[in-house]
Amino acid sequence: MLKGITFSVIGSALFAVLYYYSTLLTPLDGEQIFGWRTLLTFPFLTAFIWMTRQQHMVITLAKRLAAQPQLILFAIATSIMLGIQLWLFMWAPLHGRALNVSLGYFLLPLTMLLTGRIVYGERLTRWQNLAAGFAAIGVFNEFYQIGTLSWETLLVAFGYPGYFVLRRKIQAANLGGLWFDMALLLPAGVWFILTGKVGFDMIGDHQALYGLIPLLGILSSMALVFYILASQMLPLSLFGLLGYVEPVLLVFVALVLGETISGTQWLTYIPVWIAVSLLILEGAVGLRRMHSNQHK
C-alpha cells in the first residue's frame, strides 16, 4: 500500500508538469498535442511493459479478446473514455479552462470514494474519513460560490470513475488494459496530427518542437504508468482520495498561467489541502509503524 501511495504522488506530480508543458508546444493546438501525446506514449509504454517483463498482461488480455469478441466493444469504450480525458487535459490550459478542469479533479476523489462504497463496498479508515470530510467542505463551498458546474468539471469528475469501473469489470485494470487503450487511440492521434495546422511536414519550421515533442511522450507515458500502477495497488477509495494531490498541483499551474483565485475560493482550496496533509500524515505514520515492526 505504501508503494501504491508513493506511485500515486509521483504520477500526480508528472501530470502537473505535463499540464504546464502543453503551453510550451506553440504553435500546436490542443487537438494536435493530444495527437502527439497519443502517438508517442504508445511506444514508450510498450518499452516500459517489456522492460519490466509485464508483457504477459498484454498477451493474456489479447487472448481473452480473441476468445470473447464481445469484449472488444468494452475495450473500445474504455479507450474512447480515456481519450476524451487525455484530450481535455491538453486542451484546457491553452483555452483558459485550467481551473475548471482542476475543480473536476477536486471532485474526482469524492466521486471515486462514492463509487468505491456503492460498487465495491469499501470502507475508509478514521484518517481517511476525516480527510474526506475536509475535502467535502471545500467542494461544497465551490458549489455554493459558482452555483453550477462547467462541462469540463463534470466530464472529469464522472468520466474517470466510469472508466475505472468498466476496466475492472472486464478484468483489464492493469498495464495490459492501458496498452490496448492507447493502441486503439493511435488512429485518432494520427488523424489529429495530419489535420492540424502544423503537420508532419511543417515540424521543421519550428525547430524547438524536435526536442519538445519527444519529451511530451516520455512525460505522458511515465505519468500514466505510475497512475495505473497505483490504481492496481490501492483500494479504490484510498486511490480516489490520493487524487487530491494532483488538483492541488494543477491549481498552482493554473496560477502560473495567469488564472486567479478569488477570496471566497480559498475556502475551497484550504480544506482540500488539509485533506491532502492528513493523507500524507497517515502514510507517514504507517511507514513508521512498518519500520518499527521490521526492527522488532
pLDDT at position 295: 65
Extract the residue ranges of the chain whose pLDDT is less than 50: none
Alpha-carbon torsion, ordered 255, 258, 264, 265, to 10 deg: -40
pLDDT at position 294: 66
pLDDT at position 68: 92
Taking the C-alpha atoms of residue 40 and residue 24, their distance in angstroms, rounded to an integer, is 17
Give the CB-side neighbour count of residue 158, counting CA atoms within 13 A: 7
pLDDT at position 81: 96
- Helix pair angle (2-21, 71-91), 10° resolution: 50
Reference 261, options 273, 249, 269; nearest CA is 269
Terminal alpha carbon distance of the chain = 21
Taking the C-alpha atoms of residue 202 and residue 32, their distance in angstroms, rounded to an integer, is 13
One-letter identity of residue 254: A
State the cell numbers at 206.
519550428
pTM for the full predicted model: 0.79
